[in-house]
């Protein structure tokens, strides 16, 4: 399908080495979104590659349309499985951090409520020498 003007700058939103269902599915997503697109075949020594192109100003909208159509890549960051002891160590570290924060706030509150005279040990009139 070719419904783009050849003079416009293009952005490639999908590349495949097969012109099968995956390419047609993405074309259908762009067509439903009303985004003009085209497929270009590029011959390389390793084989033929099919590029799904859109106008450059429509590149972001095309990527969003592909994601909404279920054609987006699922890239999930995999965290390494922590051991039981590493999990306990992390919980203990978080508990100590929270305890230190609580103690600091408690000390700040006590300093704010206590009159300065009590912190200095009383006045000279209270002492009988």
CATH number at residue 40: 3.30.70
Residue 3 lies in a domain: no
| Bridge pairing between strands 47-55 and 37-44 | antiparallel
Consecutive 10-residue averages of pLDDT for the chain (129 residues): 64 89 90 92 92 93 87 63 85 92 88 65 56
Q: What is the pLDDT of residue 41?
A: 92
Q: What is the pTM of this model?
A: 0.51
- Domain co-membership, 15 together with 61: yes
CA quadruple 5, 69, 60, 10: dihedral sign: negative
Give the residue from 43, 67, 63, 64 showing the smallest Cα distance to 53: 63
Burial class (CB in 10 A: 0-12, 13-18, 19+), 50: middle
- Residue 106's domain comprises 84-117
Residue 79: what pLDDT? 65
Chain centroid to Cα 89, Å, comes to 27
């Amino acid at each position: 399908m070719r419904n783009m003007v050849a003079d416009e700058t293009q952005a490639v939103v999908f590349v495949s080495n097969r012109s099968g269902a995956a390419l047609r599915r993405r074309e259908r997503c762009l067509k439903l979104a009303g985004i003009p697109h085209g497929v270009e075949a590029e011959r390389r020594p390793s084989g033929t590659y099919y590029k799904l192109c859109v106008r450059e100003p429509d590149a972001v909208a095309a990527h969003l349309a592909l994601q909404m159509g279920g054609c987006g890549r699922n890239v999930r960051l995999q965290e390494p499985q922590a051991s039981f002891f590493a999990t306990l160590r992390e919980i203990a570290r978080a508990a100590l951090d929270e305890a230190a924060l609580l103690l600091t706030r408690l000390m700040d509150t006590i300093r704010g409520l206590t009159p300065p005279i009590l912190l200095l040990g009383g006045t000279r009139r209270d002492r009988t020498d």
